[in-house]
């Protein structure tokens, strides 16, 4: 929960907006940088979680690499300070234009997800007289025990290359002269909370697969274990920084690496989720026969996670927290303004009595929030407001004469 003076300041700002707690963000990144050194694990930030320039500039300044999944992410990461040789590029559907731009930039590696993709990159590298570094994304067939939309490591999956294609894959890698094979890439899912169990299992599978490739004569320099560390959506104040120590420790304990072999991880959500809060205002309170609705000015266009995944985000009434009257609580269906029945922030949420104009905080929205926003219903995109630059934010009064 924000403190009184911050609430007073942000109460002047036009809603909805994403409020970034820059102190928490920097503490999170600094903590990860320390652990990365302690466990000798290389970190590539998964840019897809949040592309805010200020965040990327800070992350790149700490020496992290970037994990990208589109040509535009590659170019953006590069413009935010990530050197080309620290940018890896995954994704099942890279277009020729995207491959061309990344080739020209000289990125650290293409994380290839199909045999045909390797073939195309080899051809294009040949055509332009270049050599492309390639890692291969392998589907390790592991259940990450998470939401079905964000589990990516099971056998029947569009991501990565599965075991039945290993022999063909090894043959292609050996005869493609315009690529350098540098490693194997894995990513089994997101918002993983059974950290010990799932990552220990992933490491065991990975050890076997790495050995198989090396036995076939392919040197695996990089072992990239992907991202996926979960955050605490239920208690963001109790656990503002994800359990990186357990994650890194589990990996260090279970992965087998020989001299010179590097281990990479690609956290997205865990680096940025807790540092942003979507701030909205109650527009109207509507009493139904059996329910009370709070209609907010932020909707599924600003944050689609509840509508798309049924995701839970904690919601607080910041204005009510400052009042000494209105002691009672009430159950509300909290909804957005968009013309879709799925535009619901939470059903039956218990909140202090809320009134028009109250400032509401939708917590843990730094990851997969702004990046998945749309202009559906021609709504404006919610801007970023930074805790260390509150004066620069547009005020409510700016919009009225
Ligand atoms: N590496 C690869 C190859 C990935 O596909 C992803 C995420 C990551 C790393 C980063 O994973 P993270 O550390 O953020 O869990 N929109 C969904 C999440 C989709 C994740 C996609 N891949 C959500 O809002 O929950």
Q: Is 71 left (phi over 0), alpha (psi -120 to 50) or beta?
A: alpha
Give how far Cα 198 sits from Cα of 143, 147, 162, Å.
8, 14, 19
Domain boundary assignment for the chain: 4-16+274-399, 23-267
Q: Which CATH architecture has domain 23-267?
A: Alpha-Beta Barrel (3.20)
Q: What are phi and psi of 107, to 5 degrees?
A: -70, 165
* The pLDDT value given to residue 11: 96
Separation between Cα atoms, residue 45 and residue 66, nearest integer Å: 5
Mind listing the pLDDT tens digit for each residue in 121-173? 999 999 999 999 999 999 988 877 766 666 665 666 788 998 899 999 999 99
Please tell me if the CB atom of residue 270 comes closer than 6 angstroms to any atom of ligand 1: yes
Rounded to a whole number of angstroms, the CA Rg of the chain reads: 23
* The pLDDT value given to residue 348: 97
CATH superfamily of 4-16+274-399: Lyase, Ornithine Decarboxylase; Chain A, domain 1 (2.40.37.10)
Separation between Cα atoms, residue 375 and residue 373, nearest integer Å: 7
pLDDT of 104 higher than 90: yes
Q: pTM of the entire structure?
A: 0.96
Please tell me if the CB atom of residue 268 comes closer than 6 angstroms to any atom of ligand 1: yes
* The pLDDT value given to residue 15: 98
Pocket test for ligand 1, best of 233, 266, 373 (most atoms within 8 A of CB): 266
Separation between Cα atoms, residue 130 and residue 178, nearest integer Å: 7
Give the distance, in angstroms, between the CA of residue 346 and the centroid of all CA atoms in the same chain.
22
Q: Is the Cβ–Cβ distance between 299 and 281 less than 8 Å? A: no
Q: How far is the CA of 269 from the centre of ligand 1 (A)?
A: 7
> By percentage, how much of the chain surpasses pLDDT 90?
90
Q: How far is the CA of 111 from the centre of ligand 1 (A)?
A: 15
Please tell me if the CB atom of residue 187 comes closer than 6 angstroms to any atom of ligand 1: yes
Please tell me if the CB atom of residue 65 comes closer than 6 angstroms to any atom of ligand 1: no
Mind listing the pLDDT tens digit for each residue in 195-250? 999 999 999 999 999 999 999 999 999 999 999 999 999 999 999 999 999 999 99
Separation between Cα atoms, residue 296 and residue 318, nearest integer Å: 14
């Amino acid at each position: 929960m924000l403190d009184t003076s911050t609430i007073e300041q942000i109460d002047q700002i036009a809603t909805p907006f994403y409020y970034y707690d820059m102190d928490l963000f920097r503490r999170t990144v600094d903590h990860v940088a320390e652990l990365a050194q302690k466990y000798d694990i290389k970190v590539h930030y998964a840019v897809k979680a949040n592309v805010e320039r200020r965040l990327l500039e800070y992350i790149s300044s700490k020496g992290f690499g970037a994990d990208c999944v589109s040509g535009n992410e590659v170019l953006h990461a590069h413009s935010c300070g990530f050197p080309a040789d620290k940018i890896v590029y995954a994704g099942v559907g890279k277009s020729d234009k995207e491959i061309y731009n990344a080739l020209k930039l000289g990125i650290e590696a293409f994380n290839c997800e199909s045999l045909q993709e390797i073939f195309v990159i080899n051809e294009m590298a040949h055509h332009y007289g270049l050599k492309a570094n390639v890692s291969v994304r392998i589907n390790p067939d592991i259940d990450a025990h998470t939401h079905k939309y964000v589990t990516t490591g099971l056998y029947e999956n569009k991501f990565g290359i599965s075991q039945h294609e290993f022999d063909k894959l090894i043959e292609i890698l050996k005869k493609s002269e315009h690529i350098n094979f540098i490693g194997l890439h894995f990513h089994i899912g997101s918002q993983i909370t059974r950290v010990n169990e799932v990552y220990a299992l992933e490491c065991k599978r990975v050890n076997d697969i790495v050995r198989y490739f090396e036995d076939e004569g392919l040197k695996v320099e990089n072992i990239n274990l992907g991202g996926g560390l979960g955050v605490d959506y239920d208690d963001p104040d109790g656990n503002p920084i994800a359990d990186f120590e357990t994650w890194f420790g589990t990996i260090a304990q279970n992965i087998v690496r020989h001299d010179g072999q590097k281990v990479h991880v690609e956290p997205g959500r865990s680096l940025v989720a807790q540092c942003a809060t979507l701030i909205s205002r109650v527009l109207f309170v509507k009493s139904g026969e059996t329910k009370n609705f709070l209609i907010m000015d932020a909707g599924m266009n600003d944050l689609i996670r509840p509508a798309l995944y049924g995701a839970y985000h904690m919601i607080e009434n910041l204005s009510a927290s400052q009042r000494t009257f209105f002691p009672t609580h009430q159950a509300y269906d909290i909804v957005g303004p968009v013309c879709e029945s799925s535009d619901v922030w939470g059903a039956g949420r218990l909140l202090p009595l809320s009134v028009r104009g109250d400032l509401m905080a939708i917590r843990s929205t730094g990851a997969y929030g702004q990046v998945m926003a749309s202009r559906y219903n021609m709504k404006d995109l919610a801007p970023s407001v930074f805790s260390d630059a509150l004066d620069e934010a547009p005020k409510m009064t700016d919009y009225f004469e």
